[in-house]
Amino acid sequence: MRLRLTPRDAVFFDLLAASAAQLVVGADLLAQLIAAEPPDRVRFAERLREAEHEADVSTHEIMRRLNQTFVTPFDRDDIYRLASGLDDCMDAMEAAGDLMVLYQVDALPGEVATQVATLQRSAELTAGVMPKLRSMREDVRAYWIEINRLENEADRAYRGLLALLFQSPKYQESPAAVIEMIKLKGVIDTLEQAADSFESVAHQVEALFLKES
């Protein structure tokens, strides 16, 4: 490991870990939202919005400290990108939940649960890897390999959902059905964006470990 001659401000590690922990909360709330009956989804969406706000607080604190700290644990650009990447994951999950409520989506295809399950696992893995940034000594290859596998799984679920929406007579039998298809596509597109965001964070962690180790 590269010898460091400057002190490390440990608060950045704590704040990144806090942001990642909020992803677990957000993904679990999203899973509860899609499992709920449409009238009950509002309260889960509100709780998801609160979790997103708490994650924003951690992100803003990281940015504030970056502007005030002369010596950072690793390159400030890397900290900025990582904090922004974690924020993107939460934003996409919150947006997906919000769209389900705003669009008044009725029945969700079963494959949406697969999308959300991959987000839950990705959130758990991301929260688990953040404390390892403190020492940069543990092997985290298994983390980004698994995140990549999960993202591929999410891609398959996404493509399957697109095929379902465009090919099923259920979504073509009337103008109202077509509108429902458009609503659902907006939701699954946003869930796919969340999966991509988790993979982006994994790439950032991988690059950071390769640089710092």
Q: Which domains does the chain have, with CATH numbers?
A: 11-212 (1.20.58.220)
For range 192-202, the mean pLDDT: 97
- Residue 181 vs residue 73, higher pLDDT: 181
pLDDT at 120: 98
Alpha-carbon span 94 to 166, nearest angstrom: 26
Residue 112 burial by Cβ neighbours in a 10 Å radius (0-12, 13-18, 19+): buried
Per-residue confidence band for 1, with pLDDT thresholds at 50, 70 and 90? very low
- Residue 105 vs residue 69, higher pLDDT: 105
Predicted confidence (pLDDT) per residue in 148-165, tens digit: 999 999 999 999 999 999
Q: What angle do CA 109, 113, 114 make, to 5 degrees?
A: 110
Per-residue confidence band for 10, with pLDDT thresholds at 50, 70 and 90? confident
Per-residue confidence band for 140, with pLDDT thresholds at 50, 70 and 90? confident
Contact 205, 144 (CB under 8 A): yes
pLDDT at 104: 93
Residue 2 pLDDT > 80, yes or no? Answer: no
pLDDT at 126: 97
